[in-house]
Amino acid sequence: MPVETGMDDFVKEKNDLEAATGVLAFMIQNSQELLKPKGHLRSAFACGFHDPGLETSGERDGKLTELIFLTKMEDEGQILTWGLSFCYTAPEALLQSSFTYYLDSSRNYLPPPPLPVSPKLRLSNASKLGPQQHQQQHPQQHHTMSLGGLEKGVLVGKELVCGQVPAQENEFNKDKDNKEKIPSLPVPDLQHTLLKYLMSVKPLVSEQEFSHTVQCVSAFEREGGAELHKMLVERAKERKGTSWLREWWDDLVYMRARHNVTIMDSYFYNFGLTPPSPTFPNDIFGGRVFSPLIKRAATSIMASLDFKFQYNTGILPQEKAGKRAQCVQMYTRLFNGSRIPRKDVDYFYSYSGPLAATNHIFVICNDHFYFLDVTTPTTSSFSSIPLAQLAHQLELIYQDATSKPTGIPVGALSCQVREKWCEDRELLLSNNHNADLVEGIQSAAFGVCLDTVSPLNMDDYDARVWHNNGRGRWFDKPIQLIIFENGALGLHGEHSGMDGTVSKALVEHIRKIEDNKMQGMKIPIEDRAGKRWVPCSFDISPSVSKQIENALEGVKEEVLKVSHQALIFDTFGGSAIKKMKCSPDAFCQMAIQLAFYRIFQHLPAHYESASTRGFLHGRTETIRVSSLESKKFVEAVCSGPNSLTASKNEHLLRDALAKQSKTTRDCTNGLGVDRHLLGMKLLHLEKNPSAPLPSLYTDPSFSYSNTWRMSTSQLGGKYFQAGYGAVVDDGLGVSYSYTNNYIQFKTSARQTTPCSPTRFNAALIRSLQDMRTILSGPKAKL
């Protein structure tokens, strides 16, 4: 191939941008002058490789780990298309930037087709091995490889030096996806934060313990807190294009966590035990008859692709909470990416690039894996195959999978604690064929699981979507759609890359499209006949097989340690609560407080998640639900047999509801307690790694008030219900949502929790009824 000739001269250049531009020019010149460098092409290349808008203060050294020239040849050797892609890494960070363009013979720009590049040449592999070991294992300057739709690819650069690399992953460094201006996350006032912290601790501890906490807080404010706060303000100023918290949050809360993600970091949605009524008519499938499973799988996949298309092409409406625009940067982690295990700290790898290049999804059925090509590149993004063709391909996959014995549940390996999964993944990837398959799973737009059973009841439904005993899933994938034999739909989400409000936007889009009989989609449809799927059979050695067996045993043990129960409370719902002039969210939170107090005779450290996506790259803040006001209310209600009719209790309840609503507003406005205290703690550790922590952080009350025995979140609504696990061994996890006519809860607990979900839900029903009685009595002021 003529382009390889003389490439060394350019690779040895030290000036990164000049060298890369020289490589590009050399390629073009030796590709029979297919294309002369045009301004917009060079700009695109420069933007991807070295965007001035992404520069950070201070010098950062990085290494270009991939520079690949790709071509497609005719039989006589004429080059039809060519492209260039590259990725680079920097110390202590996983960074990526990619530019890939293809041109047909008419010089029309096309997005890249799927490229199953050998994992030996992947950025993920370079980062995993480290620069020195990677260089030792892959010292060659050029590699020729098979790339599926592209016959030839040449790795033309290895370990090129480049400077001024962005501090974060490229996908998070621009605000291009937000159509409205999104402000940066603020740093709250220090005195306000410390006062709020004290008031949140007071209802949880004794007077003596609280007195000690006051001393610790006062010492912190006098002896270093003000300086740490000032440093945090400066950090926020330096990160105007992102959030002062995001790097820390992703790393500390998720990527450094070593527990299994299946129970601890995953959440699930269910959409009801049966498909929408009426069921999908055959006419939207071109008159063809398919099973409920195949119909629901096809419609949910098509609607997901439409959401992806609208996001990629910039036509998806700006997401809002009320009138407030929400940052959509986490959408970049919905598709074409994966969490990847690594020793000590995981990372999230996104394959999306400018146009979300990969065109396939992975499908699991009967523990057999398949890749299904669902889209076709177009000049702007991609098109989808027609719904009937998609259903037919899924039907063929289902028939193939169910005609065989049950497959080997390779995905069970991803159920393990992260260090063990990392170790077993290395063993699995030591086989190059397996490595290619794992790369395809990671790069797929999303996963689809076709389950050959129907849920027995709501709790069985939830368990199958949540963990399924480790079978038929790949738990590192951000999104997996799960479809059952009767057409019921579920979604499994891995939490590290995005919060539930992001996947909520996707599933609401799915359900709206389904309700409209697949009308209203924007994605182009292109008829393409022929088989579009391939089976993916892993080459499982005896040692890998043993690890899979161990993983299945491990997840069974973990599942036995947790219990969960769904509750649909239909005595009244959001409409009745609003008529009582109450916030439905605050009402549910006070019911949870009252239920807990009745069982345990004290209030817990009680967490509710508040979304901070009203700020650039915002994630969540902690709503500290337990308050002096809620404590007075629950104590009064539990004080005697006439407590429900006591007129003062209405005032106490309304005070508690008002306090909860005020705390919620503060948190969504970036004025919470926990993230501010965390930021100052981390700055102290960075500045003085060997110095003892301020007494505020070593005070037993600090640890106690951060051990969330009650973890709650309002997520769900008309279309779906959400659930997740308790976050501490003796705690409860309660997810809830409401409609006009009912409230739905999903309660989870661990084996070591001194209260079962069944017992808690019974107390919850009583609390909801009692609170309505208190607010609807003869003296209630409505």
Highest mean pLDDT among 277-291, 440-454, 515-529 belongs to 440-454
* pLDDT value of position 378: 67
How would residue 122 be classed by pLDDT, with cut points 50, 70 and 90? Answer: very low
* pLDDT(615) > 90: yes
Residue-wise pLDDT for 581-613, tens only, equals 999 999 999 999 999 999 999 999 999 999 999
Evaluate the omega torsion of the peptide bond into residue 278 and state whether it is cis, within 30 degrees of 0. yes
How would residue 18 be classed by pLDDT, with cut points 50, 70 and 90? Answer: very low
* pLDDT(17) > 90: no
* pLDDT value of position 718: 82
* pLDDT value of position 461: 96
Residue-wise pLDDT for 362-393, tens only, equals 999 999 999 999 987 665 678 888 999 999 99
* pLDDT(514) > 70: yes
* pLDDT value of position 176: 54
Domains and CATH numbers, the chain: 2-167 (no CATH), 203-242+563-775 (3.30.559.10), 259-281+304-504+519-560 (3.30.559.70)
DSSP string, 395-423: HHHHHHHHTS-----GGGGGGS-HHHHHH
* Burial degree of 368 (CB within 10 A; 0-12, 13-18, 19+): buried
Q: What is the mean pLDDT of the chain?
A: 80
Highest mean pLDDT among 107-121, 502-516, 542-556 belongs to 542-556
pTM of the model: 0.79
- Higher per-residue pLDDT: 749 or 16: 749
- Higher per-residue pLDDT: 160 or 18: 18
* pLDDT(144) > 60: no
Instruction: Go through 155-192 and write b for each residue having 16 or more CB atoms within 10 A of its CB, e for each that does not.
Output: bbbbbbebebbbbbbbbbbbbebbeeebebbebbebee
Residue-wise pLDDT for 55-96, tens only, equals 222 233 333 334 444 433 333 333 333 344 444 333 333 323
> What would the mean pLDDT of 254-269 be, rounded to a whole number?
93
**Other C-beta atoms lying within 10 Å of the C-beta of residue 452:** 14
Please name every residue paired with 350 in a beta bridge, in sequence order, or none if there are none. 337
* pLDDT value of position 516: 86
Residue-wise pLDDT for 146-175, tens only, equals 223 322 333 332 222 222 222 223 333 344
How would residue 278 be classed by pLDDT, with cut points 50, 70 and 90? Answer: low
* pLDDT value of position 274: 80
Residue-wise pLDDT for 635-665, tens only, equals 999 987 777 777 889 999 999 999 999 999 9
And the tokens for 767? 């609390």
* pLDDT value of position 358: 64
* pLDDT value of position 134: 38
* pLDDT value of position 6: 34
* pLDDT(424) > 80: yes
Which positions are annotated as active-site residues? 495
DSSP string, 631-700: HHHHHHHTS-TTGGG-HHHHHHHHHHHHHHHHHHHHHHTT--SHHHHHHHHHHHHHH-TTSPPPHHHHSH
How would residue 277 be classed by pLDDT, with cut points 50, 70 and 90? Answer: low
How would residue 8 be classed by pLDDT, with cut points 50, 70 and 90? Answer: very low
* Burial degree of 232 (CB within 10 A; 0-12, 13-18, 19+): buried
Q: Three-class SS of residue 284?
A: helix
> What would the mean pLDDT of 274-279 be, rounded to a whole number?
69
Residue-wise pLDDT for 222-244, tens only, equals 999 999 999 999 999 998 889 99
* pLDDT(276) > 50: yes
**Cβ proximity of 159 and 140 under 8 Å:** no
> What would the mean pLDDT of 739-746 be, rounded to a whole number?
96
* Burial degree of 240 (CB within 10 A; 0-12, 13-18, 19+): exposed
Distance CA 750, CA 752 (A): 5
> What would the mean pLDDT of 103-108 be, rounded to a whole number?
33
How would residue 136 be classed by pLDDT, with cut points 50, 70 and 90? Answer: very low
* pLDDT(120) > 70: no
* pLDDT value of position 82: 37
**Cβ proximity of 465 and 492 under 8 Å:** yes
* pLDDT(540) > 80: yes
Share of the chain above pLDDT 70, in %: 75
**Other C-beta atoms lying within 10 Å of the C-beta of residue 278:** 7
